[in-house]
Amino acid sequence: MDKQLPKLTTLSISLLQGIALWFLYYSFEQQIFPATNPIWFNPLATLSIALPVLLQLSATPQNWQRLLIFLALFGIVLSLTASYIGYQQIPVAIIESGSMQFIFIVTTGIAAFKAIMYGQLWSEKSKLDYQRLFQLSWRNFLIAAESLLFTGIFYGILNLGAALFNVIGIDVFSQLLEKPWFNIPVLCMAFGFAVITFRRIAKTVDIIANILQTLIKFLLPLLAVVALAFVITLPFTGLQKLWDTGYGSTLLLSLQAMTLFFVNAVYQNHQEQRAYPIFWHRFIYLSIAILPIFSVISAYGLWLRIDQYGWTVSRCWGVVAWSILTCFCLGYLQGILRERDHWLRSLSWVNVRMGLIVLALMLLVNSPLLNFQQISTQSQLKRVADNVIDIDQLDTYYFKWSLARQGYIGLQELKDAINDEQFSLKIDRLYAPKRDAQQQVSQQEFFRYVDYWPEQHTFPEELKLALFEKENNRWFRPGQQGYYLLAIDLNKDGLAEYISVKESTQFTDMNIWRLDEQGKWQNKYLYRNNPASLRGNKTDIQSLLQANKVQAVEPKWQDLLIGDIRIQISF
């Protein structure tokens, strides 16, 4: 049994966490401080979620005082990074920061996972022993995962009970579950109770970890065969097919990461351990020795993409992942070259120090020292300044949806520098202030975001009104969609057909508009068939319209009519 704080203490921590999270939720719902200021809201939310969970997972009657000191220091670091991320969300009315917040959540979770292991050893006054770190990592992960699963099932049962009582006319339970002041603290208490339960059976948790490690033990030789076979066949196939996939470097990095994880799961720092017969033992460390070859190939692939298209947030992360995995691989390689069959003696030294490096990186990426949004913004703007791409080719949607404040500042500076009226209008539309979902939009405001081809006077006012009525709903956000109306004769009857195009960062939606028998405008969705070269890429409709690249094309295949059944053929 894992020693832990008294049950009442742990549940009290959960209750206080629930109250804090409810207060933050209430401020967000009512749009009052601190929710209106992400510089304050982000650190308060981060600390309210992370610190109580870490304390519950790791505190014991013997280490809680030193652990509180460690968590206080770690909390200060988290607060600073969270505040900086909050600053990158300002001005809130126009900045889209969803992708940046997702990265912050993931990296903070990894940092907390790594930090608490070192914090547990420090609070216990133990030396940095990898075998102990490995045991703590599996135990903490499984207890947290099982507690989350328990909490989810608990909440599902509450909702099931409320639904059953609703059937017989008792709705007090369903109404209660809809109240955040009730369900947030209750769920936190359920999570705390689950942590208490699973920490009591820590030995069982360790058995589950051993079962998972045993399964990995049987999979590691297969992974080693795949790695070696790929290296052997590579000289005969070349790299071009790998690059043609568009994600060749990602595949190689994934293979490296999986191999390193499996190796650590199997060997666990037993220096003289032979998990396999000598043949397979040497076969596996040979597969580890060739991993730097994958680092060289993936580095070349990353360099090609960066050289051709510049830095983006995803490529910055690719370089970080490459750096971490390469350091692990080179560390293991030097151990293999020096120790041969006894190379596991170097495993602990490499892993303990690389764990601290990973922890530091997960914190630095949320700081001004390693701001990927800023790096990406400067790189993409430099491509424009160096005439690598035209201003019309700049993906402004990427700036808005992926680069947060840095993207906004970069585009504003570019807008002021080039003094292009059309580009300025595009940026002003893109960064139009957000509106509340319930707020109505006037026709005048809506039509600021509509472009016409070939001329505005071509389109009936009733058609434009029908488009306004269709699109003016709670999903409409000024500047987040572009609308285009096209008039072109598609059936050779001398009259124009009207096509509406809605373009956003995620999709392009096309409809044809026609009058029905009652004289009302009705729309029908149009299937969009992109050539292979454009699939997965965003098409700049506005630029194509401005270049008058619009024409009606005869279909290659006629429709097949069987009775009243019409079959359209396309390839």
497 vs 1, higher pLDDT: 497
With bands split at pLDDT 50, 70 and 90, how would you rate the model's confidence at 325? very high
Q: What's the rounded Cα separation, in Å, for the pair 340 and 335?
A: 7
> Residue 261's CB: how many other CB atoms inside 10 A?
13
Do the beta carbons of residue 205 and residue 139 sit within 8 Å?
yes
Per-residue pLDDT tens digits for 336-371: 888 877 777 788 889 999 999 999 999 999 999 999
By CB neighbour count within 10 A (0-12 exposed, 13-18 middle, 19+ buried), where does 166 fall? middle
pLDDT at 475: 63
H-helix or E-strand spanning residue 523: strand 521-525
pLDDT tens column, 66-82: 999 999 999 999 999 99
Q: What is the pLDDT of residues 425-461, one digit of tens each?
A: 889 878 877 666 556 677 887 888 888 998 888 899 9
Spatial distance between the Cα atoms of 84 and 78, rounded to a whole number of angstroms: 10
Longest dimension (CA), the chain: 88
Q: Which letter does DSSP use for residue 370 in this model?
A: G
Most confident of 94-103, 281-290, 492-501: 94-103
pLDDT tens readout for residues 148-174: 999 999 999 998 988 888 888 888 878
Residue that wins the pLDDT comparison between 167 and 33: 33
Angle (CA) 29 33 36, round 5°: 70
Beta bridge partners of 484: 451, 501
Cis? peptide before 180, omega within 30° of 0: no
Region of 96 please: left (phi>0), alpha (psi -120 to 50) or beta.
beta
Q: What pLDDT is recorded for position 358?
A: 96
Asked whether the predicted pLDDT for residue 93 surpasses 90, the reply is: no
Under a CB-based contact definition with an 8 Å cutoff, are residues 462 and 516 in contact? Answer: no
pTM of the shown model: 0.84
Q: In which element (H, E) is residue 525 found?
A: strand 521-525
Cis status, amide bond into 235, omega within 30 of 0: no
Give 546's pLDDT tier (boundaries 50, 70, 90).
confident
DSSP string, 475-513: T--TTT-EEEEEEE-SSSSSS-EEEEEEE-SS-EEEEEE
- Average pLDDT over every residue of 23-35: 94
End-to-end CA distance of the chain: 64
Which residues lie closer than 8 Å to 469 by C-beta, 6 or more apart?
none
Per-residue pLDDT for 269 more than 60?
no
Q: How far is CA 270 from CA 140, 266, 553, in A?
A: 21, 10, 70
272 — pLDDT class (breaks 50, 70, 90):
low
CA quadruple 518, 521, 525, 529: dihedral sign: positive
Q: Is the pLDDT of residue 497 over 80?
A: yes
Could you give the percent of the chain with pLDDT greater than 90?
A: 52
Q: How confident is the model at residue 123 (pLDDT cuts 50, 70, 90)?
A: very high
Calculate mean pLDDT across residues 211-238: 89
Mean pLDDT of the 299-313 span: 94
Distances (CA, A) of 307 to 297, 301, 324, 399, 515: 15, 10, 21, 19, 51
Distances (CA, A) of 17 to 49, 184, 187, 190: 7, 9, 10, 12
User: What sign does the dihedral 71-72-75-80 (CA atoms) show?
Assistant: negative
Confidence of residue 536 (pLDDT cuts 50, 70, 90): very low
Phi-psi sector, 391: left (phi>0), alpha (psi -120 to 50), beta: alpha
Work out the mean pLDDT of the chain and round it to a whole number: 88
Of 101-105, 486-490, 535-539, least confident by mean pLDDT is 535-539
pLDDT band at 2 (very low <50, low <70, confident <90, very high): low
Which one has a higher pLDDT value, 422 or 540?
422
Number of helices (H) and strands (E), helices first, in the chain? 21, 7
